[in-house]
Amino acid sequence: MNRGRLAAMVAVAVSIASGPAKLAAFPDYLGSRGLGMGGAGRADARGEEGPLLNPAGMSLARVYTVEGAYQHINRDLGYLAHASVVDSTSGFNLAGGLFYTYRSASLPGGGHLTGHEPGLALSFPLGERVLLGISGKYLHISGGAGELDGRNSHSGITADAGVIVRAASILTIGVAGYNLHDLSTIQAPVGLGYGLALNPVPDLVIAVDGLHDFTTTDPSRGVTTTVGGGAEYILQHRVVFRAGGGHDGHLGHGYVSAGLVGLSELGAVDFGFRQDVSGDQKLTFLAVGLRLFVPQP
């Protein structure tokens, strides 16, 4: 799953209520921050968000974080569990991250879909303005309806790659490619994401993103495009408020999102929420994450 990481959001197989089961994919896991900001953040994917959205983002800030997260979706008992360790405190902002994502969904009419995705991400700066990143991952998906090749189990190694450019002191631009080695499964679509992040004052980030999926949930639809945006405001370095919205190109749904974070010197508790506001079979996503900040000497 997986757009920049299948660090993937979890979930669920969207199916047609009547007739044969429809080919369906897990929604991507974007992290609590990405979820709360309307799916945006590829130009400002700091710390643990890097392996999920844009691996180049791990070098944006010097942090050492350990994260555990859980996401629930309101259909088909879909859920996702995610863990990661990201360290960008070495010299020159070189950064590395390890992550693992587990996804599960019970399908209408029987059957169970599961996914495992461990991976390693690296990022490094080219001068002061350009950051590069790459993420390698192993994906194993099993269960559910057979895909175009007739199989319902797929395994293989694929990769994400990204770049972030500091275009100005308050503006960054990010681009990332996902699942660049095509595993020929709708559960790991080849994709291209891009975004802008504006930081007009130190405690405010405004982001807008787009995502093209070239191997879609429904192959008859061709390329699908998802757009979203949102904002994040940090209040007195103790509370973070997030809000956003967008349009999901896979499902044809419009959605709104929000997030809330409690911060301390030791760590943070993150909550993220997305609610579809248009389309059939509206989905609700709830995510909670716990981050620990490892102190540096």
pLDDT of residue 250: 84
Which residues, in sequence order, are CB contacts of 21 under 8 Å at separation 6+?
A: 13, 15, 107, 108, 109, 144, 145
Residues in the chain, overall count: 297
pLDDT tens, the chain, 297 aa long: 444 433 333 333 333 233 333 445 677 789 999 999 999 999 999 999 999 999 999 999 999 999 999 999 987 768 999 999 999 998 777 999 999 999 998 876 667 889 999 999 999 999 889 999 999 999 998 886 667 666 778 899 999 999 999 999 999 999 999 999 998 888 888 999 999 999 999 999 999 999 999 976 666 778 999 999 999 999 999 999 999 999 999 888 999 999 999 999 999 999 999 999 998 889 999 999 999 999 876
Element (H, E) at 51: helix 50-53
Q: Which CATH number fits domain 31-293: 2.40.160.60, 2.10.109.10, 3.30.2350.10, 3.90.1150.10?
A: 2.40.160.60
pLDDT of residue 194: 98
Element (H, E) at 32: helix 31-36
Nearest to 255 by CA among 55, 73, 105: 73
pLDDT of residue 23: 44
Give the C-alpha separation, 97 to 59, whole Å.
11
Question: CA-based angle 15:24:145, to the nearest 5?
Answer: 85
Which residues, in sequence order, are CB contacts of 220 under 8 Å at separation 6+?
A: none
pLDDT of residue 25: 64
pLDDT of residue 109: 65
Give the C-alpha separation, 45 to 22, whole Å.
33
pLDDT of residue 3: 43
Structural domain spans, the chain? 31-293
Element (H, E) at 70: strand 64-73
pTM of the prediction? 0.88
Give the C-alpha separation, 173 to 40, whole Å.
12
